[in-house]
Structure 1
Amino acid sequence: MSKTTAPATHAPVTTASHADAIGHGNSPAAWTCVIIMLVGALVSSIAYVIASTPVFIGGLVVMVLGLLAGWAMRKAGYGVGGSKLKNSGH
């Protein structure tokens, strides 16, 4: 068995400057997704405390529905840079 090591290949390091727009996801699709998922997390948290498995699972289902709602709204043009949004520069 050989004791040689393979040379490591390093990817170039890229750094973002403060001038680069990073896109915070401020869109109706993102806000809808987050709000629905927060409601689901609240329901699941309360169900965990009161030890109710069906309600806990219901909260998880609400969180998945939040993901699906955000995805559907993004596909419908309500995501960042979507066709249904009027970009005012903010």
Structure 2
Amino acid sequence: MQEVLVPIDCVDGFTVAFYARPERFLEPAGRRSQSAWTFVDNTDETRAVEHLRRDLDTGAWDKRHGHLRIQPEFVGSLRLLTGHP
């Protein structure tokens, strides 16, 4: 098993690809491209998005996580499994 590094400029729409660009979660089309959001009901999605919007507007997100905006790569939960016959 090998960790998969996600680059800061990853163009794929999977959730962790936006680690340095949280604003993408404010876009409905961006959320629709991620299967994880299908498990979240509309009320909770609205609440989460508004909370993120507020944190971005006030600078709270950047205060807590701003270092991610310049981190060249992110190691999340992605792993590459290789099978050998």
TM-score by length of 2: 0.29
Which is greater in Rg?
1
Structure having the higher strand fraction is 2
Per chain length, whose mean CA-contact separation is higher, i.e. which structure has more relative contact order (CA < 8 Å, sep 6+)? 2
